[in-house]
Amino acid sequence: MNKFRLTRWLISLPPTLFLLIFFAVPSLIMIVTSFRFPGEYGGLAPLTAPETTAAEGDSGLYGMTLEAYHFFFSDILYAEIFLKSFVVATTSTLICLIMAYPVAMLIAQSAKKYRNLMILLVVLPFASNFLIRIYAWMIILGPESAFSHFINSVLQAFGFEPVMMLFSPFAVLVGTVYVHLPFMILPLYTNLEKHDPVLLDAAQDLGANRWQRFWLVTWPQSLPGVFSGSALVFIPVLGMFAIPDILGGTGDILIGNLIKDQFLGTRDWPFGSTLSIMLMLAVLCVTGLFTLLARPRVPR
């Protein structure tokens, strides 16, 4: 028993170290960076130059300062962007859930020999590059595309104004849902596949109709799958920047875009790090919530 435990430790040590080092070290760098002064030409101000920083009205302590946090909290604008990103992430997650659930159920209930093929089909889009798939949506949603012409001719037939689908919040939602849908389907399927069909039979015997059987038997059992799928969609969407950059319109800025801007256009590392830390805290809160909710309800 003791020997077995030792082997287990030895084997799991390298990946654990890998995760620890490559998670902890960058996070620490980021935390320290967020308390520094930005350099005149980008990067960070040297730690040993208090005279230059004193001119900004904040002398700091050993070249460390709360200035970036002060800037973040003194402006409602940044809270608005966080709120907006949460709304986009929540909406995408809900749409993914509604679309993924029937698919996952279909796969879980089909004959075993087809399941692997169906899972393969769900995963297949990953075989092509993420950016190429997003650019493909640019073509599909573009104003001169066949799809756009069809939608607009239908709208016109009913007397509505034609719409521009590309460069809109709608396009951003289409992109995020499209990219993240498999991340919702897979955990849901793994969960639904394990359900014991006997329970449904029992419910039927007790007089439950189709709807009651789903709502009272299948749904509560699938909650852990729902929550882990939701976390897998919600968290990446919260930090993404490429999709709003490519498909979004003039108002589609999310925290991801803002952070990217700090490191590229503005070259303001401390503020970029502060934003990243705030995002990380927000994600941690949400993950904590999901883990709490995803605990299996039925004690086994």
Partner 1 sequence: MKLGYTLMGLFCLLIIALTGCTSEDQVAGNLSGKNGNILRLFNWNNYISQQTIERFEQTCQCRVTQDYYSDNEELLAKLAAGATGYDLLVPTGDAMDTLIHQGALNVLDKSQIPNLKNIDPSYLGTVFDPDNRYSVPYAYTTTLIGFNREKLAELNLPTDSWAIIFEPEYLKKIKGRITVLDSQRELMAAALKYLGYSASDTDENHWQQAKALIIRAKPYWAAFSNTSYIRELAIGNLWVAHGYSNDMYQAALDAKKTGRRFSVDFVIPREGAVLSLDSMVLHHSGHRPDLAHRFINFMLEGKNSAELTNLTGSGNPNLAARPYIHPEIIANHAIFPDTAQLSRLEMLHDINHTQRRLLSRIWTEIKLR
- Cα(228)–Cα(43) distance, rounded to whole angstroms? 38
Q: Does 193 bind partner 1 (CB under 8 A)?
A: no
Which member of 30, 31, 81, 97 binds partner 1 (CB under 8 A)?
81
Q: Does 26 bind partner 1 (CB under 8 A)?
A: no
Q: Does 69 bind partner 1 (CB under 8 A)?
A: no
Q: Does 265 bind partner 1 (CB under 8 A)?
A: yes
Which member of 39, 50, 169, 236 binds partner 1 (CB under 8 A)?
39
Size of the site for partner 1 (CB under 8 A): 43
Q: Does 58 bind partner 1 (CB under 8 A)?
A: no
Q: Does 245 bind partner 1 (CB under 8 A)?
A: yes
Q: Per CB under 8 A, which region of 58-66, 74-82, 90-98, 231-239 contacts partner 1?
A: 74-82
Q: Which residues of 41-68 are buried (b: 16+ CB within 10 A; e: fewer)?
A: eeeebeeeeeeebeeeeeebeebebebb
Residue 43 CB, shortest distance to partner 1, in Å, is 5
Judged by beta carbon, residue 4 or residue 158, the one nearer partner 1 is: 4
Q: Per CB under 8 A, which region of 110-118, 139-147, 180-188, 199-207 contacts partner 1?
A: 139-147
Q: Is the separation of the CB atoms in 275 and 73 below 8 Å? A: no
CB under 8 Å to 131, separation ≥6 — which residues? 242, 246
Q: Per CB under 8 A, which region of 22-30, 203-211, 226-234, 254-262 contacts partner 1?
A: 254-262
Which member of 19, 56, 98, 136 binds partner 1 (CB under 8 A)?
56
With 0-12 / 13-18 / 19 or more C-beta atoms within 10 angstroms meaning exposed / middle / buried, residue 249 is: middle
Q: Is the separation of the CB atoms in 176 and 87 below 8 Å? A: no
Q: Does 164 bind partner 1 (CB under 8 A)?
A: yes
Q: Per CB under 8 A, which region of 121-129, 205-213, 216-224, 257-265 contacts partner 1?
A: 257-265
Q: Is the separation of the CB atoms in 63 and 48 below 8 Å? A: yes
What count of other Cβ atoms lies within 10 Å of the Cβ of residue 118? 17
